[in-house]
Structure 1
Amino acid sequence: MLARLTGLALAALLAVPGHAAGDKTGVGVSSMIRPEANFGRGVSMTIWYPAQTGGGASELVGRNAVFEGTPAQREASPLPGKLPLVLLSHGGRRSSEQSGAWLAARLAEGGYIVAEVSGQRPRDPATALGEIWRRPAELGQALDLLLNDPDWQMRIDETRVAVAGVALGGTAAMMLAGGMIDEGAYARNCWTAHPSTDCEWFASGGIDPASVDPQALTLSRQDPRVRAVLAIAPEYLAEFRAASLAERGAQMTIFGLDEPAPGEARLAAQAGIEVLPLEGADLYDLFALCTPGGAKLLEEEGGDPALCGSTAEERSAVHEQLAESALDVLGRALLLPY
């Protein structure tokens, strides 16, 4: 499709068989930590999966003073059989682990094994410099680890692998489908009308993001094992080479926010990528529900209270839109011939 889908078109997508709203199952959660992976900085995965109900210890994953947790059963018995896998990378350079717990749980309810992948988060702008290329490399290594793990390799259908990402995670997901960042456009990003949210952070540390390793930035990260990509409000959308996405090796869907992002129209016209708008959503609505005191705590500690700016009802509505349409898109890409 060559433009943003209208509300009617989105409703038509949701009507396609593949995932029925209300089809629920128990959600199990496990962890995998490999300190030697990802160029020595380590890979940590929280793995969500359809589980037999009544087993495992109840847990609220990702709960802290700002965000509500997501309920799951720790080490519950998985449902039998091989299931499709979704690698999930949520948030920007400074996002905490398990930022995507709510989305991972919803996808697991829909019948997917979901591995939310979290490398060691950068402690300062200098260590964050290479995050744009480390994130997709991290996803590829995480897939290797899962498919070679004695327990998970028997549960994952390696012919049905997808990647979903939010913000910089969305950028990484697009790179695994073959998307290439234009080095010159990336170097100019902080001086455009659509700068990255981290530009001020880089500047505060005296770091020029254009000094990133050019070879690592422009190295292809395409992974032929990935059949579908869900890029949710991806960063640097306008900095992608349209030709690389036109020749992508996986089915790709971009989920946009309420306000269209720079680059959407160009990629739609030149690469034929459909853009599904999340009505009423801003970037922060893609994070978990906030605690009642979350906004005040952020303000007191010098954070951005806008992270908790929407009401629980508004954010829940965005979550519902994204989860249902993501399940529909995944069902089309992984359960039907592609």
Structure 2
Amino acid sequence: MLARLTGLALAALLAAPGYAAGDKTGVGVSSLIRPEANFGRGVSMTIWYPSQTGGGASELVGRNAVFEGTPAQREASPMPGKLPLVLLSHGGRRSAEQSGAWLAARLAEGGYIVAEVSGQRPRDPASALGEIWRRPAELGQALDLLLNDPDWQMRIDETRVAVAGFALGGTAAMMLAGGMIDQGAYMLNCWTAHASPDCGWFAEGGIDPADVDPQALTLPRHDPRVRAALAIAPEYLAEFRPDSLSEHNADMRIFGLDQPVPGETRIATQTGIAVQPLQGAALYDLFALCTPGGAKLLEEEGGDPALCGSTAEARAAVHEQLATGALEFLNRALPLPY
């Protein structure tokens, strides 16, 4: 049970909409799977929420031999009343389910229902070709499902909906907030100095990302129900059309890594949306904390030991920056209705 909170997490909790000093909360977790949705691919969600203490089965969500799990109470009783919702999309095309569990739990501590939507893990590069447009479409369908689900519709304040995401999920978050990808720039991405991390994977499979369906890529994905968007190290930042972001269809916050990437200055200059750097953060620091033997196991199994390249203390510091900044942004962007 997450009855004990750190000082920063407690401060964020008490400042969150709908909470007062003396409330006792934990973090509950549930699952929602709809195999018929999302163009037949199905939609799978892990739902995190503020829960009442004293119920549910303790669980370490997402724990495996490489990553530490995130503690929660399975099917614990939710706190009463309607709460704001954050749709959370994980990282790149090959990221594991629940890779954003650590952030989802922190946001739930702060008073939010968080639905981490697990994109279908592509079998090969060919099946991943359209993931850039399928991911935001999937988030929109997930929102439809939640707002029509008899158990969740009564718990979600549909006037306070946000979307957040890491890497490719951050791209999807920006698209739901009104951002649109420039088709010509996207087609050339793999030949630029800021190529997507998946360009090499596509090349090995003989797939050209430029073969993506251009109509699906450029179709507006703006969802007016989304009031705020949080993009964390979003892929294809330089390929967004500045005019689509400058319209400010939703409040937007972009967190970048310690080292700036191409497109940040142009986006800030032309849209007024500055990228806030996470001090000391590399891309893999957005993953969960690693187990003590995680790096060695990755090396032995032919994986990338850089996934666990930073110390636990350094990665935890990045997580603290991001969670605190995310709660500050969401509390401001989704205020209590009066």
Identical-pair percentage: 85
Q: Once superposed, which parts of structure 1, at least 4 consecutive aligned residues long, lie more than 4 Å away?
A: none
In the other structure, the counterpart of 1:9 is: none
Could you tell me whether the CA contact under 8 Å between 2:33 and 2:44 is conserved in 1? yes
Measured in 2, the distance between the counterparts of 1:299 and 1:206 equals 26
| Matched ranges for 1:15-94 at <5 A | 18-19=15-16, 25-94=25-94
Give the superposed CA RMSD. Answer: 1.7
Measured in 1, the distance between the counterparts of 2:62 and 2:166 equals 16
Measured against aligned partners, the alpha-carbon deviations of 1:255-276 in whole angstroms (never above 9, x if no partner) come to 0110011111101010111321
| Matched ranges for 1:265-276 at <5 A | 265-276=265-276
Measured in 2, the distance between the counterparts of 1:135 and 1:300 equals 32
In the other structure, the counterpart of 2:137 is: 137
Q: 3-state SS of the aligned residue for 1:66? A: coil
In the other structure, the counterpart of 1:261 is: 261
Aligned-partner residue type, residue 78 of structure 2: P
Could you tell me whether the CA contact under 8 Å between 2:171 and 2:237 is conserved in 1? yes
Alignment length (residue pairs)? 323
Measured in 2, the distance between the counterparts of 1:64 and 1:258 equals 28
In the other structure, the counterpart of 2:8 is: none
Unaligned runs of 5+ in 2: 1-10
Could you tell me whether the CA contact under 8 Å between 2:264 and 2:274 is conserved in 1? no
Could you tell me whether the CA contact under 8 Å between 1:50 and 1:112 is conserved in 2? yes
Measured in 1, the distance between the counterparts of 2:296 and 2:123 equals 24
The normalised TM-score by structure 1 is 0.93
Say which is worse superposed, 272-281 or 231-240, in terms of deviation.
Answer: 272-281
Could you tell me whether the CA contact under 8 Å between 2:25 and 2:79 is conserved in 1? no
Measured against aligned partners, the alpha-carbon deviations of 1:276-311 in whole angstroms (never above 9, x if no partner) come to 111000110000000111111111222111010000
Higher relative contact order (CA 8 A, sep 6+): 1
Q: 3-state SS of the aligned residue for 2:334? A: helix
Measured in 1, the distance between the counterparts of 2:274 and 2:249 equals 15
Compared CA separation, residues 202 and 217, structure 1 to 2 (3 A): same
Measured in 1, the distance between the counterparts of 2:109 and 2:152 equals 18
Unaligned runs of 5+ in 1: 1-13
| Matched ranges for 1:168-247 at <5 A | 168-247=168-247
1:252 paired with 2:252, answer yes
Measured in 1, the distance between the counterparts of 2:122 and 2:175 equals 20
- How many Å apart are 1:138 and its aligned residue? 0.4
The normalised TM-score by structure 2 is 0.93
Measured against aligned partners, the alpha-carbon deviations of 1:154-189 in whole angstroms (never above 9, x if no partner) come to 000000000010000000000001100011111100
Measured in 2, the distance between the counterparts of 1:54 and 1:330 equals 28
